[in-house]
A and B are shown apart, each in its own frame.
Chain A
């Protein structure tokens, strides 16, 4: 699929329709933050990344790894792509980049979303040739079975297959089993059936933390 025809893989800034310029403020802050810091790990993606920074689990597990968080709520692959091309990777040299995005790509097919994620992986590799990219699988969403769960599962299968042959990328499924036997997701895990509660973040971050640490250890001289 050519990148021209896939809007999920065309870098696109977020339009300020609301009127307070918050998306651009966040992007600019990430760029300027990156000028002063030397993170070993960079987290990039949507609200699932952004909100992680606001809970205790960040301070406990990821701050000690010298991590920066460039998550923006609402971002789809094309927005993250734009941000990474336009400065957010220019002043840092992390060893590991954790990428978690795709659930907000409404209107895109799983193939398009996978294309968007691969485009991001390529940009990261171009700008940071020595970094390892860890792509997280999209979580299920919605209280009951629905098309978005199927879409996200398809994206995961496609991405996992595409990155299998790349030595600088790995795929991690961080779903600890949010879907119960009756097909439901509990609000104790996702308070709005999309975003994670602090307890759910704990469950997701255990394997994530382990994997990042092992990637950092491998990267060490």
Chain B
């Protein structure tokens, strides 16, 4: 599905309807961080990524890996695509990029959302040919079974099948433990049935961290001279 056919793969900045320009401020800050930092790991996506940095788990597991966090709450695949095309990949050579986005794509079908995520993965691979990509599956959401859970699961199935064909891209689904046998999600894991509690972040971060260590170990670190 080309970008012309798939609205979820069309880059789009967020229009400032509220009046305080916060989305653009965050994007500009990330572009500036690219000028100053030399991250080994880049995490990019929506609030699931953003809030990770406000939890203790970031300081413990991800800061030591020289990770940068380019998450913005509310972002869709279109917004992340726009940000990556407009400065957030300039001057940096992260060895691994973690992508977690798609749950906010309310206007799009599961096929379109998967296509949008694929488009981002393709962009990352073309801009960072020596990097590896980890795509996190969309988590289930809502207290009870609902259409968004089915949609997110459908997106994950499509990604599972199509991502590996792109190249050094891995898909991991960290949402397996959240839905209980009665179909409910607990507020102890998702305080608003969407966003993760500190405990749940700890659970998913362990798996992600292990995979990151594995990938970083597999990749010989480039000497800085070779990046010039």
Contact = CB atoms under 8 A, between A and B. Distances in A.
Bind each other: yes
Interface of A: 17-22, 25-26, 29, 50, 53-56, 72-73, 106, 141-144, 146-149, 187, 191-195, 197-198
Contact of A142 (B25, B141, B143): B25
Name the residue among B17, B20, B25, B53 with the largest chain A CB count within 10 angstroms.
Answer: B20
A22 B18 contact: no
Contacts of A29: 143, 187
A14 to B, nearest CB: 12
Given A144-B25, A192-B73, A193-B25, A20 B19 contact: no
Contacts of B206: none
Interface string B136-160: 0000011110111100000000000
Given A22-B142, A54-B191, A73-B192, A141 B147 contact: no
A198 B148 contact: no
The majority secondary structure among interface residues of chain A is loop
A26 to B, nearest CB: 6
A192 B191 contact: no
Contact of B149 (A20, A187, A191): A20
Contacts of A141: 20, 22
Contacts of A54: 191, 197-198
Contacts of B197: 54
A142 B22 contact: yes
Given A192-B72, A193-B26, A50 B20 contact: no
B20 A146 contact: yes
A191 B21 contact: no
B192 A20 contact: no
Contact of B20 (A21, A26, A149): A149
Nearest to B72: A192
B226 interface: no
Contact of B148 (A19, A50, A144, A197): A19
A153 to B, nearest CB: 13
A198 B54 CA distance: 7
Contacts of B193: 20, 22, 25-26
Given A18-B106, A22-B193, A193-B26, A143 B21 contact: yes
Contacts of A198: 54
7 contacts: A17-B106, A22-B142, A72-B192, A73-B192, A142-B19, A187-B29, A192-B22
